[in-house]
Amino acid sequence: MNLFSAMRTFVEVARAGSMNGAALRLNVSGALVGQRIAGLEDHLQARLLHRTTRQQKLTDFGESYLEQCIDILELVDLSEGKASDQQRRPQGRLRVAAPVSFGTSALMPALKEFTKFAPEVEIELSLSDNNEDLIAGGFDVAFRIGELEDSDLLQVPLAPYKMMICASIGYISEHSEPRTPSDMKHLRAVLFSRTGRRPWRFKKGVEEQSWTPLARISVNSGQAVRVAANAGMGVAMLPETLVKNDISEGKLVQLLPDWKLPEQPMALIYHRDRYRPKRLTTFIEFARSNFKSQFA
């Protein structure tokens, strides 16, 4: 049995969903496809497919082995000088970690474009405001907001994460709109609990002011803070990407637009591997293009 030929056949069966479909793709007989899969399973001493009369479904082992086959075959093509655009099209599963608000409001809409030019890549996106460990979590790549600790991970600088102060029209009509940070002493805030009650720092030219928010409620979800702000429960400091639609639709009002809040650095991080699958390099370029920084 030619192991690489059997692996290629297995990949095509997984993509086509049936042995007959794979036979058409490979321009071979269905019987030969069946022989290769049987030989591969015998070689591995493990079942790759659950077979029915009409289609095949991957076993749990088959799911994990498929990813290995894709990476191995790509390396084989590279080593044999067969890495044409067609043969090196991005494919396989990519595990991505991102903060919740950024992932929901900015990354998810952008992924629609990524799936258009990389249709054979399956994105497994994990949203969490805890900085997921890439190795322990089995992630290929992650978005990070805030200062990064020194590590062996590679970093791609992205556009800074911009924040803004906002409140509902109803809340402002009841309490009057502040013109400077010092005018906010009579207001109450809805806080993102991870940032706590730290002072909000503002800058306008060379002038700097700060305001320590008085919290009406704190919650560990940016989306929940947004909902509370829309409900008139207080002022909120939220990511620009999360509230820009609410502001354009007149649901929320940006406060102190002439005063700047500190921006948080954002980066894409990934393993320092000598070999990077095409799906990973394609995603890195996608992120660099969509969330680019002047320093990238």
Comparing C-alpha atoms, which of 163, 189, 166 is closest to residue 260? 163
pLDDT at 239 over 80: yes
pLDDT tens-digit series, residues 187-225: 999 998 877 778 899 999 889 998 888 887 899 888 899
| Cβ–Cβ < 8 Å for 290, 110 | yes
Question: Which residue type does 290 have?
Answer: N
What is the pTM for the complete model shown? 0.68
Fold of 92-161+265-290: D-Maltodextrin-Binding Protein; domain 2 (3.40.190)
Comparing C-alpha atoms, which of 9, 76, 4, 73 is closest to residue 36? 9
pLDDT at 37 over 60: yes
Query: Tokens standing for 48?
Result: 């790759």
| Average pLDDT along the chain | 85
**Strand 207-211 vs strand 200-204: parallel, antiparallel, or unpaired?**
antiparallel
pLDDT tens-digit series, residues 63-119: 888 888 887 887 776 666 555 544 567 888 889 999 988 999 899 999 999 998 888
Query: In whole angstroms, what is the distance from residue 48 CA to residue 61 CA?
Result: 6
| Average pLDDT of the residues in 125-147 | 85
Q: What is the pLDDT of residue 256?
A: 93
Instruction: Please indicate whether the domains covering 3-79 and 92-161+265-290 agree at the CATH topology level.
Output: no
Query: Tokens standing for 89?
Result: 């099209």
Q: What is the pLDDT of residue 267?
A: 92
275 or 248: whose pLDDT is higher?
248
Architecture field, domain 3-79: Orthogonal Bundle (1.10)
CATH code for the structural domain at 163-261 = 3.40.190.10
Residue-wise over 188-214: b if at least 16 C-beta within 10 A, else e? Answer: bbbbbeeeeeeebebeeeeeebebebe
- Domain map (residue ranges) of the chain: 3-79, 92-161+265-290, 163-261
